[in-house]
């Protein structure tokens, strides 16, 4: 009869150990930080001393192990594993070219964003290409998964389905079936009998993820794991969960919008910060080949005041976005500062720069800023578009509908250069833009033929050119 693995409770803040769970850590005084962990049996001092006498010296530290060869890196032979393409272009692009055999991918996102939908579509596509798939559902019954597959109209009927949450049963079934791809939905519902904690706690999530990772590496099965997110937007569970896996994908987007953004924040087999854009339809998620056309599709040729266009680099892909700003008279004593898709602290900084350097006072005005499409502006190249949109709303004068704004705004009101300006300008020209306001240092040597590029030194010069 196999003995049950021993476990201790370790504090996630200070690392102190305890033989039993308690609400407060006696070492650091933090509450609810003790989580259960499996531990290897310790070697007694007498046994270690005996081993040292038998083996002699430092060899005693290796008792129970075996001596392996250590080849030089130049002598290592082998070829890179061939990737499996799913046929979903945007999904393969974010992964770096396709699914790598033996890899483990973590897919996180808000509830209802489309995590299970995209993975069921991927499993159906791979099954159609001859790669056997096992879909493990811990949250939905087999009938619910079948109804989703029927609603999507996909060829997922041949995908093997397992409704189970016990990790030992899942691994035993997978070892017997030997699938090429396995989907676990979700990691927060899976538990191992070696730990006493409830499914979803820190110890269970970490141990289950580590065993799934080991199974992927030893069997060559590509494992996809669904992870829930917390209120802060991070994947629930320990941060080590993201360190264990090979690739971390985040689904982003507004629940009311029909498009989703799949972003790679970690990828051992490709570049990070790549994004794929999908549109949610009745038949599931469809890839969007031209995201710029999607985000600018509803923008009128003669926009109202407060609308500006910028171009962001998402990995290696340039993408045009519309930024909308509104400055209105404050109805209460303290003006509001509301930002959607843009860092609120960065907005406060730009408002201070506009007041100090350009003479635009928003002290008595409510300021609302929105990045259209539910996309987040994370790089400073969108500062100039935000400043132009706010100034346009302040003066109540619309900006040119065919103009794009690229640049970082400094604290002195100067406009700083950005990276990959030429690629952004080419994308703007392709989308029908005819004027571009950039930093003087970002004006490329080879200018686009149908795009007039104007280099401006600071905000005062920009507003003088726009509003006279």
| Beta-strand runs (E) in 110-198 | 133-137, 160-162, 181-185
Q: Which is it for strands 222-227 and 17-18: parallel, antiparallel or unpaired?
A: unpaired
CA–CA distance, 463 with 468 (Å, rounded to integer): 7
The CB-side HSE value for 419 (13 A sphere, CA atoms) comes to 7
Q: Which of 421, 415, 417 is nearest to 446 (CA)?
A: 421
> Which residues neighbour 121 within 8 Å (Cβ) at sequence distance 6 or greater?
88, 152, 154, 156, 284, 285
Residues comprising the chain, all counted: 468
Judge residue 265's burial from the number of C-beta atoms within 10 Å of its C-beta, 0-12 exposed, 13-18 middle, 19 or more buried.
Answer: middle
Tell me the helices (H) and strands (E) count for the chain, helix number first. 12, 21
> Which residues neighbour 262 within 8 Å (Cβ) at sequence distance 6 or greater?
90, 91, 94, 118, 249, 250, 251, 252, 275, 276, 277, 278
Residue 232 annotated in ligand binding: no
Residue 318 annotated in ligand binding: no
Residue 114 annotated in ligand binding: yes
Cis? peptide before 164, omega within 30° of 0: no
Q: What DSSP element (H or E) covers 405?
A: strand 403-405
CA–CA distance, 176 with 173 (Å, rounded to integer): 5
Query: Tokens standing for 303?
Result: 């926009």
Residue 218 annotated in ligand binding: no
Q: Which of 6, 42, 9, 2 is nearest to 24 (CA)?
A: 9
Query: Tokens standing for 383?
Result: 């500062």
Please say whether the beta carbons of 425 and 453 come within 8 A. Answer: yes
Residue 115 annotated in ligand binding: yes
What count of other Cβ atoms lies within 10 Å of the Cβ of residue 5? 14
Residue 109 annotated in ligand binding: yes
Residues pairing with 252 in the sheet: 261
Residue 113 annotated in ligand binding: yes
Residues pairing with 311 in the sheet: 320
3-class DSSP state for residue 261?
strand
Residue 238 annotated in ligand binding: no
Considering just the CA atoms, what is the radius of gyration of the chain in Å?
Answer: 27
Residue numbers belonging to the annotated binding site for ATP: 109-116
Residue numbers belonging to the annotated binding site: 109-116
């Amino acid at each position: 009869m196999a003995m049950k693995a021993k476990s201790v409770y370790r504090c996630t803040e200070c690392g102190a150990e305890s033989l039993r769970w308690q609400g407060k850590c006696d070492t650091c005084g933090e509450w609810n930080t003790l989580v259960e962990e499996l531990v290897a049996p310790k070697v007694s001092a007498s046994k270690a001393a005996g081993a040292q006498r038998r083996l002699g010296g430092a060899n005693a530290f290796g008792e129970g192990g075996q001596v392996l060869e250590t080849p030089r890196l130049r002598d290592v032979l082998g070829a890179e594993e061939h990737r499996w393409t799913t046929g979903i272009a945007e999904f393969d692009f974010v992964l770096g070219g396709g699914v790598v055999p033996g890899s483990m991918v973590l897919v996180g996102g808000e509830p209802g964003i489309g995590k299970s939908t995209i993975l069921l579509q991927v499993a159906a596509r791979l099954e159609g290409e001859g790669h056997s798939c096992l879909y493990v559902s811990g949250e939905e019954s087999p009938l619910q998964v079948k109804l989703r597959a029927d609603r999507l109209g996909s060829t997922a009927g041949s995908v093997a389905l397992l409704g189970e949450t016990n990790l030992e049963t899942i691994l035993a079934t997978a070892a017997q079936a030997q699938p090429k791809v396995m989907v676990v939905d979700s990691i927060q519902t899976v538990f191992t009998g070696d730990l006493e904690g409830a499914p979803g706690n820190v110890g269970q999530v970490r141990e289950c993820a580590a065993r799934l990772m080991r199974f992927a590496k030893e069997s060559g099965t590509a494992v996809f794991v669904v992870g829930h997110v917390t209120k802060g937007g991070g994947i629930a569970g320990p941060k080590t969960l993201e360190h264990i896996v090979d690739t971390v994908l985040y689904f982003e987007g507004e629940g009311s919008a029909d498009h989703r953004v799949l972003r790679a924040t970690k990828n051992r087999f490709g570049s990070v910060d790549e994004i794929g854009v999908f549109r949610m339809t009745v038949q599931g998620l469809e890839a969007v080949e031209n995201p710029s056309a999607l985000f600018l599709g509803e923008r009128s040729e003669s926009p109202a005041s407060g609308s500006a266009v910028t171009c962001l680099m998402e990995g290696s892909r340039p993408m045009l976005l519309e930024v909308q700003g509104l400055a209105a008279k404050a109805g209460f004593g303290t003006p509001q500062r509301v930002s959607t898709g843009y860092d609120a602290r960065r907005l406060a900084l730009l408002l201070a720069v506009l007041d100090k350097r350009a003479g635009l006072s928003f002290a008595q005005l409510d300021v609302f800023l929105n990045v259209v499409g539910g996309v987040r502006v994370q790089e400073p190249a969108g500062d100039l578009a935000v400043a132009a949109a706010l100034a346009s709303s302040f003066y109540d004068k619309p900006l040119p509908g065919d103009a794009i704004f690229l640049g970082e705004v400094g604290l002195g009101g100067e406009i700083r250069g950005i990276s990959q300006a030429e690629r952004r300008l080419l994308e703007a020209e392709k989308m029908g833009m005819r004027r571009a306001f950039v930093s003087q240092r970002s004006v490329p040597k080879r200018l686009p033929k149908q795009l007039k590029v104007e280099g401006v030194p600071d905000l005062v010069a920009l507003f003088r050119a726009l509003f006279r």
